Amino acid sequence: MFWLTGFCLVLSRQDLPLPQQPTQVRGEIISLVSQNSDWVSFDIVVDKPNLILGPRAKLRLTWQSEAALRVGQVWDFTFMPKSISSVLNQGGYNEQKQLISQHIVGKGRVIHATLHAEYFSLRNHLITQLTPKLSGLMQGDILLALILGDEQLISPAKWQALRQTGTGHLVSISGLHLSVITAWICASALFLLTRLAPHPSRRNLVLALMLAGSSALFYSYLAGFAVPTQRALVMILLIMLLSLLRRYSSAWDRLLFALFVVLLIDPLACLSAGFWLSFSALAIILYTLESAQVARSIDSNQTLFATSCVRLRQFWAIQWRLSLILGLVQAIFFGGVSIHSLWMNMLVVPWFSLLVIPLSMLAFLVWWLGELFGQSWMVPFQLADLSLMPFGKLLEVSDELPGHWHSVSDGMLALCLCVLLALTLWRYMPHRRQYWQWHLMAGLLCVPMAIFVFQRIAQVETAQWTLHLLDVGQGLAAVVEKDTRALVYDTGAAFGEDFSYSERVIIPFLNTRGLADIDFIVISHGDNDHAGGAQALAKAYPQANWITDVDHLNGQPCLPQQIEWQQLTLRFISPQTQAGGNNASCVLRIDDGQQSLLLSGDIEKETESVLIERVKAGVILKSQVLIAPHHGSRTSSTQAFIDSVAPELVLFPAGLNNRYGFPKDDVIERYQARQIRHLTTGMEGQISVTFEHGTLEVKTYRRDFAPFWYNRLFRFGDLINPE
């Protein structure tokens, strides 16, 4: 903990400026993240000549420029700084956690930049030279990732296919790749030395180990020293060192030492999913090799067929354990599991180990040698590309496989973990009377699953219902949950063809909550920050009933009406006629007879006045919870409207540090003057309000669902106080 605190303190205290004003910094481009039209996103490491030791702070910048940016360039940037704090919701992508794990302490938009210098980097030079040549091959993107650890050519569609098949680890240089290269180099060197220069001492072994170790170090450099590569390199070098010193150490000793060294070098590595996946995989393999009886049943008198059968059983034991345990780890980090990962990995892991990885590196060496002599020797790369053809075909058909990706809710994940722990206790605890307490614990761990199955069969209805106001930046998206069914109100924004808050936030949230039955989708009006993700939701939930006045969505008009749903009453109270604009937002009041919620869209004071007049005609506005009109702008939340609704809690759907300054301070003061509690999604992340038996239970993502230090609000350049 002290080391983690000091590490974050060094990252934070690097004289970076405060936000909200243009600032200047000199930095070296270390990674090109993405490019969209003339916008490019890249990471820089801040140039601090006085910092001799310790981590160097990184920034993620975006720039609208036609300049030819390359890794290794040093620029003087003038940019508008921004905090790394991001939207936070259950099931959603935690960007700020990922940025922290990469030592990125701030973001920004470049206003102006001047090239200062360009440093030569062998890895970056090789990437620049090799990328255009491999881009013309069918599997050139995979080859580039296998050789240089550069994944820029891999399309989002292929990444999706890799995730669906559970084979993404094969294209990220890690222990498998480093072990294969090291083993091939060591075996080849030892074979040649013993035949060309035999010697009775350990000289040949030492030379072979040193050559293999140097190769592993160089391959790690080519891979950019990623976290999985660091872990594998430490273990390989440790094994070689102990072999040279003739010191015994168990495989578990080496694994723990590698874990210690990786966390010593980078304590923030534990925030990345790759860290847990790689160390979990190694632990599973070591456990299987030590515990499996088949591993000790091989002797020199067995036939080749019998030995092969034993090895196949051992390989099967490793694969099913890896698929099961890593599947659970994958579900924890990514909210789903690949159904076909077991059999696909059994096919492709040996293929990669014996053919693809060695052939790819051999092709790279031949090509590099040809470049030194002014030749372009691409034939070996074409052979390596052919060796990847079967793997490419598997990825192409992955979308057509039934159940290729299964989303797992948090509740189901917890139940599976309980059952797995119960089975583990039952498997490894002796079946004797003196161990009855452990057997009882195993039985109790199965009780939650039994209750869950009973509730599903009996379809038990409860009085509890919950509003989830999702954090979608400067926009609105809300989900009302009742007995495993849901109503969605607005979708948040969408930008371009590649980004939608429906895909980034709403659908992952519904999956993690186990909400597959979406009965109603209500779109208040046509503004992008409310309706931008409508098409994505329509594709994901074609059975949903749409209520909206937005023409192209072809929904039921949002006119005054009443619908009974899941023992709740949905009262649509505005607009009275179909129109457009903020004041024509679909206003929905939901109540259970005791408590109520008012969703007001973007209505402004004109519509608020109309609704207040309609109270005299019997329209009910009074509600315990109010979603503030128009994100808390000055054009809404008049004092008369607040008094008519008289909420106990008001929620502002507004992004952190949004350009409009919502919610406005004077609007917040109107609610505070009436002792009304207020919360803002940009500050709290997802806000969930549970209604049950006349009481409100309020939970937020940052304070309740995941109250970890890396989820708090950060200032620009600030990671201090992680404890």
In the Cβ-directed half-sphere of 606, how many Cα atoms lie within 13 Å? Answer: 7
Give the DSSP per-residue string, 441-494. HHHHHTHHHHHHHHHHHHT---S-EEEEE---SSS--EEEEETTEEEEE----E
Tokens standing for residue 715? 């200032």
Going from the C-alpha of 682 to that of each of 83, 98, 137, the distances in angstroms are: 12, 18, 45
Cα 164 from Cα 160, distance rounded (Å): 6
C-beta of residue 363 within 8 angstroms of C-beta of residue 381: yes
Helix residue ranges, H only, 616-662: 639-645
Note the pLDDT of residue 652.
97
Three-state DSSP class for 261? Answer: helix
Residue 481, amino acid: E
- Extents of the domains making up the chain: 2-119, 129-292+319-405, 409-453, 465-711
Write out the two tokens for 553.
């969505």
Residue 544 gets which letter from DSSP?
P
CB 369 within 8 A of CB 377: yes
Residue with tokens 């057509």: 400
Tokens of 402: 């039934």
Contacts (Cβ under 8 Å, ≥6 apart) of 334: 163, 273
State how far the Cα of 133 lies from the Cα of 384, in Å rounded to an integer: 14
**Are 326 and 149 within 8 A, CB to CB?**
no
The residue type of 25 is V
| Residue among 329, 227, 325, 331 nearest 275 (CA) | 227
Cis-peptide, bond into residue 350, ω within 30° of zero: no
CA 285, 291, 293, 295 dihedral sign is: positive
Q: Which residue has the tokens 């003038």?
A: 78
Based on DSSP, count helices (H) and strands (E) in the chain, helices before strands. 26, 23
Give, for 231, the enclosing helix (H) or strand (E). Answer: helix 227-245
- Taking 3-state DSSP, the helix, strand and coil percentages for the chain, each rounded to the nearest 5, stand at 50, 20, 30
pLDDT at position 52, please? 47
d(CA 45, CA 26): 9
Distance CA 82, CA 59 (A): 10
User: Which tokens is 656 given?
Assistant: 């952190």
Nearest to 42 by CA among 60, 64, 66: 60
Residue 423 in tokens: 């089975």
Of 192, 237, 244, 190, residue with least CA distance to 218: 237
Identity of the residue numbered 179: S
The alpha helices in 485-546, defined as continuous H runs, are 501, 507-512, 528-531, 534-540
pLDDT tens digit sequence for 528-543: 999 999 999 999 999 9
Q: Are 586 and 547 in contact (CB under 8 A)?
A: yes
Closest C-alpha to 500, from 473, 519, 479: 473
* Whole-angstrom distance, CA of residue 109 vs CA of residue 240: 47
Three-class DSSP category at 603: coil
- What gap in Å lies between CA 78 and CA 188, rounded to an integer? 53
Residue 703 CB burial class (10 angstroms; 0-12, 13-18, ≥19): middle
Q: Which residues contact 243 (CB under 8 A, 6 or more apart)?
A: 209
Q: Which residues, 6+ apart, have CB-to-CB distance to 613 below 8 Å? A: none
> 476 and 653 in contact (C-beta within 8 Å)?
yes
Structure tokens at 441: 């614990």
In this prediction the pTM is 0.86
**Cβ neighbours of residue 406 under 8 Å, at least 6 residues apart?**
336, 337, 338, 339
Q: Please choose, from the candidates 470, 468, 527, 539, the residue with its C-alpha nearest in 3D space to the C-alpha of residue 501.
A: 470
Helix (H, G, I), strand (E, B) or coil at 713: coil
- 600 by DSSP, 3-state: which? coil
Shared fold status for 2-119 and 465-711: no
Q: Would you state the CATH architecture of domain 465-711?
A: 4-Layer Sandwich (3.60)
Classify strands 465-469 and 405-407 as parallel, antiparallel or unpaired: unpaired
- pLDDT tens profile 355-389: 999 999 999 999 999 988 888 899 999 999 999 99
Cβ pair 567, 461 in contact under 8 A: yes
Fold of 2-119: OB fold (Dihydrolipoamide Acetyltransferase, E2P) (2.40.50)
Residue 206 neighbours by CB distance under 10 Å:
13
Q: Do β-strands 587-591 and 485-489 pair in parallel, antiparallel, or remain unpaired?
A: unpaired
pLDDT averages per 10-residue partition of the chain, 723 residues: 74 57 88 81 81 73 89 91 92 92 90 90 88 91 92 85 84 86 91 89 89 93 82 81 76 82 85 83 82 52 74 79 81 82 83 92 94 88 94 86 78 89 86 83 91 81 92 96 95 89 95 93 95 94 94 90 94 86 94 94 94 90 96 95 96 93 95 96 96 93 93 75 38
Helix or strand (DSSP H, E) at 192 = helix 175-196
Residue 366's identity, in one-letter code, is: V
Three-point CA angle 204, 365, 29, nearest 5°: 115
Distance (Å, rounded) from C-alpha 697 to C-alpha 265? Answer: 43
